[in-house]
Structures are given as structure tokens and as C-alpha cells.
Structure 1
């Protein structure tokens, strides 16, 4: 490999090295956010029985044919049927049963008349009257129906949602709230998934102080570990933030050994350049390959497999913007590949947008540049946010996109069509 790696070469090398995590069986709520590893087959019809989609009266369709306010159909009410009822009467001609939403349809019933289409069985307001009559009588009395219903109307048919033997969810499905709800409706208590990767994030630098603590001379607050931990969570990982590590190789090695027991992937920031205190390079040379990439920001990168379990480690630059851009381009796809996502779901969405800028944007020849941008989906434009400096965290916080300028482009003027990486 050449001394300078391209963005695509480095990404391909990373994705070749990482593997999807082994499937495990998890309870439904623990499986939320995970990727399904097997097809889920519908074990029984859903819903399992015909039930009412309205509060009203279960009837035979012929008994209310032609009903009007002037000439209502008058039916004998023989039962009250609530959701969960098991002892159901059979309806014969001229009979009806008060029924609640979700309650099973009794034998002989063909449709449900909404309570609003009746006198509620007492001659009062329809809903209140129905409830009062139901509570008072438990069946009995009469109901006047003012509007006909067709057979099957206002009924949720057995199996109308899902038929037994069908595929409810396919392997590779990301389990969000609707999918978890479906699994619960099917009676599944657990499900086989790839677990969310556990990512450990460490910042390096003797100058770092924890947020909330006062700064001493020459110190800055550790923002990278918080930003990258949040980024790992947003990528779907279970993320752990370790305390900042001072510029000492032995201390870093000890910290890594402590963290590897709970890590499927490790991210460090800082200490990967060519300075006298580049502790990550000193501590991990031989296990991690430190590279120069043809990109800006983020030229220095490290990647390797460390420890007995060959855990992927990403050594990212220390400047905040460089660290974040590197995470989005390389770490996020790796985490999602480990979680079992398919190729199409590894990367952030990319769109083509028209550049809006007062002055042309310059870009170094031979490097792929990623600038912070604000994307306007309504008109398909993007404008730069802040300058190119890799320390400008305020500009990064104001951006929702990365503007990508290819290696062979040294200047992009207003109106240029550029690829935009959407971060939102």
C-alpha cells in the first residue's frame, strides 16, 4: 500500500477487518434497536378471532336491512360482550348483543352497528345510554337501529392483520417500536438478534480536564470523549466513556487492558500525529497501523485489532472536527456492520446539492476535503458553516451536513454540484 491511503482504501480495509457479532436471544425490550437474524413466522392468525372495531351492537345484517330513523329496526338485546369475554351467546334472528371495541364477535353475528347509529338501548344519548344500559342490565331490553350495515362491516376479521404461516419479519430487519409491538402481538417473548456493539471511547492528553471542573494553566475541557460517545450511541452502539488518559504510554496500555473486557470496539482520540507526545502511537505501534490519509481534516489515522479477542481499535486525531469527521466516515460504518446492518445501511445518506457561497471554496489538490455545511432540502442547496479549522466546534455544532470536495477539485464556486453527507 502507498504511503498515503485514500479515504476509500482505508474504509475498505476497516470493513474487511470487522465482523458481525454473534447472534443472541434477547427479551423484546432489550432487542429494540437490534437487527433480527432469523425470519419470524406468524404462529397463529392475528387477530386470533373476529372482533368488533367499534363500540356498538353485534347484529345479523338482514335484521337491520333498510333501517331508517323513521322506520328503525327494533332488536332484542340478549347480552353484553366486553373485551376478553369468553362465554358468547349465539344470536338468532331479531337479536343483538351490546359489544365493546376489541370484544369477540358472538356466533350468528355478521356485523356491528356503531352505537351512534342507535338509540343506545334506552332512548338517551347513544354512547352514554349504551354504557348505562350495559352496566344496569347485563343484557336485556331493546335497541333501535337507525341505519343498516353490510355483512362484515365494523369487524376485524380473524387473520386480517397476519395469516398463520406467513413471514411477519425477515432476517436483517432493524427492530424499532412497531416491530417490537408486532412481535409482542404474535406472542414472542424473546427474539434472535445481533446485539448492539459495545464501544469504549477514550481521550488522550495531559491537558484535558473533565467538564464541570475548573481549568488549570494550559488545560482545556475534554470534549472529544463526550462527542464520540454520543456519536457511538447515535450509531446504535452501547457506548462507554472512559476517563481521559494522560500522555503516558504505560498508563494508556493499562487503561486499554482494563476496558477491553467490556469492548467490542475501541475508539481513542489524540496522540496519532508526529509530535513528541503522541502517546497512542507509542503505546500501540506493532498492533495498530498508523496511516496518513488523503483527506482533510483527519489525515492521521490508526486502525488495528488488539488484545486476545482481536478487538478493533480506531485511533482518531485529537482535533474535535477531525475526530468527528473520522468517526462518521470510518467508525460508524464499522459499528453498524458489527450490528448486522446490510451494506445499504452502513453509511450516512448522501445527496447532491448546489453550493451557495459568497466566495469560492478552496481545497488542497489530492485530498478529499470535508467541510461543515447547512443543507436546505427544500431547494437542494448547501452552504458552508464556519471556516476550515479542525478546532471549530461551534461551527460543527451548527452544521447538519458535510460538504465533500473530491481530490481532483481545488476550487468550488457558487452553483457547483457537490456530494453532501447528511448528519441529521
Structure 2
């Protein structure tokens, strides 16, 4: 019997491009309090409606002066006014100085500040001060708009907000921000072999049973990505139960994520169920670990809270835990970033570091390999001895991946491309 020819393996970059092309250019949005926007993605350009700072102000506690009045050290100037932060002073009288505090607006007529450490009170009081330095114009003065100019775009749409960004938004008077809606993700597993930790003691496990580890790290990864996660648990390994779970999840979610049952020729209920309710593409990706990958869409029923022409995205990951972990980082992560409005640069692989391999890899693979490695005290990389896609301890032991091109061996001392887990999990 002649077997059908298999499609060629798809390069990782092509798979990612094909995955991202199914997403809208702009995400769904919502308005949240700036206090609650940490980690969210801006859905609007943030334009300043004012100058920051709004007026020239002092960056020191000291005395506001007209620099032309101080031609040499030792000039004595009377103190004509006192200007604390939050209060505007009067125009500076010629030949005088103003006691001023950090953040206070500069009075008209003053163009420099002498910090108090460079002055001495005359006669033990503060009605006049002895100026010990000659200040240049602009000394210790924050100019209006030196941080932000009115009308400037200070944060662009697609920017992921962090604590500094929130402070900047608040400095512009923004109590609320328009951000991308959190992706709503339904997560479930299928397989009669799966058992939840705590339900059965290790010594009581039936032959062939395994604990459902993928569910735990996938759920954690989704939360780190800012998703709202509906954990649907383990769906019984029956066609009707699988289709019911997909139908229900499609109505209220943007993405359905599963692991297992996507290898070519494997008998399972996920593939025919997704095909019956929408469409499914099975991809064989030229990467190791993680060759089998599935993308599809599940139709949303009209009248069930969603428009009839909309569909819920479906992604099926490999069942082996390391394959599932790595394909999430390399494919699902950028998918979720784009779903939140991040730009193309954010959705690509993080920049690799060039480090020295302190190991040998004498056998080249036809696929692009992502090797679990760990930085050592010498600044090089050690290789976990077992690179099997089922050995999850390699991802715990390691702190990143070596991105090794197909057909490439590695000899100790070679320079390789290293991608840190910290960057992939950021």
C-alpha cells in the first residue's frame, strides 16, 4: 500500500507568521483605573495635555536669584520672600533673593538657584544671606517641559505598562487608561490516563495513569501573560463530552488551549470535534521539541452572546510536557501578546545572547533544536544530560534555551545563541 506523502516540516518563523495573521489588527479594549493598569497594554497613544513640569521650578532647597546680581563670591542679598512647593512667588525684586524649596515655581526675574549649603545667614538670621558661589544662569532649575512637552506622545499604543509608566501617566493627570482587554482563555485536558494530584496517591496509581502536570504550568503561564483563565479541568475522553466542552468554551472565550492529541495519525476526540465545529490545521513544525502543533477556530453559536460570524481561536499543543512548555513560549506567547495589541518586535523571539558552550553535541538534528541549558559560574553554558521532550526536570534545572540551527553540531568552546527563560517569561 502506498502511504500519502507527508507535508514538509514548517519553519518556526513561518508557523508564527501564519498564526499571527489570524488576529485582528486592533484588540478589544476596556477602560481601567491607572492604579490597576500595571502589566496591561495601552490601546491608545497617551498624549500630554500639559507641560511637565508645568513651570520652571527649583530642584534644590536654597535661594532663587538673578545670576547677574552675583558677580563674585561673598555677595550679600536680602531675602525678599519665601516660596514653598505648591505656592507661586511674586516677581523677584532687583538685588534680592527668595528663599525657595525643592519643587517650588521659580519667581519671575530669577534665573538660578543657589543651594543652601553654598550660603550663610548674615547676623544669625535669614533676612539676608551671604552667597559663597557665583551661579551660572539655569543652575538647579528644572525647565518647564523638560520632562514632557505639551502635545507630545509620551507612551505609544501597544506599550506594556509598568510602574514607571503608571507614574508618568499620573503626572499627566490620567486617572484612567484605555487598555487592551485581557485575553479570555479556556484551558482543558483530555485523556483517560490523566489524574489530578491529590486525587490518587502515587502508590495507588493504576498502570498507564499519569498526573496532569501540563495543566499546572500552562495555567501559570497564561496568568503570567495577563489572561483571564477558565480552567475546565479534564474533559472525559468521549466525543460528545469533547464537543460540549468546545461549544461552551467558544461562546465566552477568545482562545481554547489544550495539550495532547495533535500528532499526525493519532486517534483522539479533539481533532474531529474541532473540525466538526469549525476548522483545524495540523502543522508539523521543524523544531525539537514540539513538532506537532494545531491551530483552528471553533464557531460561536448565534444568539449565545456572540456574533455568528465570530469564532473562538483554538490551539492544540503537544502532550509531552517539555514540548508543550517550549511551544507555548515560542508560539502561544507571541499569539497572546498580539491579541493584546503588542507590536511585531514584542511578538518575535527575544534577542539571543552569544555565550560559550561548555558541552558537546556531536549529533546534528534535521530540525531546529531548543536545548535546555544552564549558565555556569564560568559564564558558559552547561547542557542538561537528558534532552527528551518528556523530561520536565530539564526545564526546572535550566535557565534558558540554546537555539541551535538544524543540521548543526556543537563542540565545547563554540559560541551559541542563548535565550533566557526570564526573557521568555517576562
**TM (normalized to structure 1)?**
0.82
Q: CA separation of 1:405/1:165 partners in 2, compared to 1, >3 Å: closer, same or farther? A: closer
Q: Which residue of 1 aligns with 2:303?
A: none
Cα distance in 2, alignment partners of residues 378 and 193 from structure 1: 43
CA shift, 1:359, in A, is 4.4
Are 1:223 and 2:213 counterparts?
yes
Q: CA separation of 1:75/1:177 partners in 2, compared to 1, >3 Å: closer, same or farther? A: same
Cα distance in 1, alignment partners of residues 359 and 168 from structure 2: 52
CA shift, 1:75, in A, is 3.0
Q: Is the 8 A contact 2:293 2:317 kept in 1?
A: yes
**Among 281, 285, 288, which residue is 1:289 paired with?**
281
Are 1:266 and 2:256 counterparts?
yes
Q: Which residue of 1 aligns with 2:306?
A: none
Cα distance in 2, alignment partners of residues 143 and 261 from structure 1: 74
Q: Which residue of 1 aligns with 2:10?
A: 6
Q: CA separation of 1:311/1:92 partners in 2, compared to 1, >3 Å: closer, same or farther? A: same
Q: Which residue of 1 aligns with 2:34?
A: 28
CA shift, 1:302, in A, is 1.7
SS of alignment partner, residue 107 of structure 1: coil
Cα distance in 2, alignment partners of residues 83 and 61 from structure 1: 22
CA shift, 1:104, in A, is 1.4
Pairing 1:96-245 to 2, within 5 Å after superposition: 96-119=97-120, 123=124, 141-211=127-197, 214-215=200-201, 216-218=204-206, 219-245=209-235
* RMSD (Å), alpha carbons: 3.2
Cα distance in 1, alignment partners of residues 350 and 81 from structure 2: 57
**TM (normalized to structure 2)?**
0.81
Q: Is the 8 A contact 2:80 2:93 kept in 1?
A: no
Cα distance in 2, alignment partners of residues 292 and 3 from structure 1: 8
**Among 83, 86, 107, which residue is 1:84 paired with?**
86
SS of alignment partner, residue 17 of structure 1: coil
Q: Per-residue CA shift, 1:179-198, capped at 9, x if unaligned?
A: 32222212223344433423
Q: CA separation of 1:199/1:377 partners in 2, compared to 1, >3 Å: closer, same or farther? A: farther
Q: Is the 8 A contact 2:251 2:312 kept in 1?
A: no
The runs of 5 or more residues in structure 1 that have no matched partner are 124-132, 134-139
Q: Is the 8 A contact 1:272 1:279 kept in 2?
A: no
**Among 289, 297, 303, which residue is 2:295 paired with?**
303
Q: Per-residue CA shift, 1:266-315, capped at 9, x if unaligned?
A: 21112334798734235324432334444332232221011313121111
SS of alignment partner, residue 174 of structure 1: coil
SS of alignment partner, residue 163 of structure 1: coil
Q: CA separation of 1:171/1:285 partners in 2, compared to 1, >3 Å: closer, same or farther? A: closer
Q: CA separation of 1:257/1:189 partners in 2, compared to 1, >3 Å: closer, same or farther? A: same
